[in-house]
Amino acid sequence: MPEFHVRPLRSSDFDRVLWLERELFGAGAWTYGMLADELAALGRWYIVATVDEPGSIGPDPVIGYAGLWFDGDDAQVMTIGVARAFQRSGVGRLLLDELIAHARKLKANAVLLEVRVDNEPALAMYRRSGFEVLAVRKRYYQPENKDAYTMRLDLRSEPRAAADDGDAA
């Protein structure tokens, strides 16, 4: 079994992250400019997942990425993605756990996110981590014209000890 690790996203990861964006989101993928603007924005925290045996997707070990925005009250999952060849191996959960641990460290009240209503793998992952559906945002995803669920993980009701968990930073 390959081993997976998480570390902060570096500028040298840009090309690989953009390649993964296109693989996972097609026409909706972020461009170089969008990614650069996003990373330069206030309160962002981005990480990548690496594998010790890249194998099927070439020599670059970056096989997943995820990002969080903290506005001083709540944290928002900005993106999360795992290379198709490495999906269903626990990498998505590893990245999401790191985002949640970081949000706890920042003392966020909650973690929020949007997800397409028909994105079954992502919905299952978020539910499994305790997120609950708050509302539906009609036609949130363009140009696909697809609805989104807004989901929320309440961190305030969690045991105090959880706030002291470590994370990748």
Ligand X SMILES: CC(C)(COP(=O)(O)OP(=O)(O)OC[C@H]1O[C@@H](n2cnc3c(N)ncnc32)[C@H](O)[C@@H]1OP(=O)(O)O)[C@@H](O)C(=O)NCCC(=O)NCCS
The binder of ligand X chosen from 2, 28, 54, 90 (CB under 6 A): 90
- Least distance to ligand X, CB of residue 156, Å: 23
67 binds ligand X per the rule CB under 6 A = no
109 binds ligand X per the rule CB under 6 A = no
98 is catalytic: no
8 Å CB contact between 133 and 150 = yes
Closest to 125 in 3D by CA, of 161, 155, 87, 159: 87
68 binds ligand X per the rule CB under 6 A = no
120 is catalytic: no
Query: What is the C-alpha separation between 86 and 102, in angstroms, rounded?
Result: 24
Nearer to ligand X (CB atom), residue 14 or residue 130: 130
- Burial of 82-121, coded b for 16+ CB within 10 Å and e otherwise, reads bbeebeebebbebbbebbbbbbbbbebebbbbbbbeeeee
Closest to 29 in 3D by CA, of 97, 79, 73: 79
122 binds ligand X per the rule CB under 6 A = yes
- Least distance to ligand X, CB of residue 160, Å: 27
88 binds ligand X per the rule CB under 6 A = yes
Q: What single letter denotes the amino acid at residue 118? A: D
Active site residues: 114, 126
Residues binding ligand X (CB under 6 A): 24, 80-82, 87-93, 115, 119-122, 124-125, 128
